[in-house]
Amino acid sequence: MEDDRVNYSYGKIVLNNFIDEVNELDANRFSRIQYGIKLKKLIIDWLRLTDRLVGKENRVIDWR
């Protein structure tokens, strides 16, 4: 990305190519965030289904 920015400042690449690279980078970042969220949801579902979602080690309030 930084190389493309430098090349664009020197006029070595066209503005449309630079914009395409920036858009692709943003799409990849967004996709990574989405997959991270999906993974965490699946982990929560798995813990819920195996009755390990709430245990002694992750209780917020002790009801004793």
Reported as a single tens digit per residue, the pLDDT across 14-46 is 888 889 999 999 999 999 999 999 999 999 899
- The least confident of 3-7, 11-15, 39-43 is 3-7
Question: Which is more confidently placed, 4 or 39?
Answer: 39
More reliable by pLDDT, 52 or 29: 29
Cα 57 to Cα 42, 43, 45, 48, distances in angstroms: 20, 17, 18, 15
User: SS3 letters for 17-64?
Assistant: HHHHHHHHHHHHHHHHHHHHHHHHHHHHHHHHHCCCCCCHHHCCCCCC
Among 28, 31, 21, smallest CA distance to 1 is for 21
pLDDT band at 47 (very low <50, low <70, confident <90, very high): confident
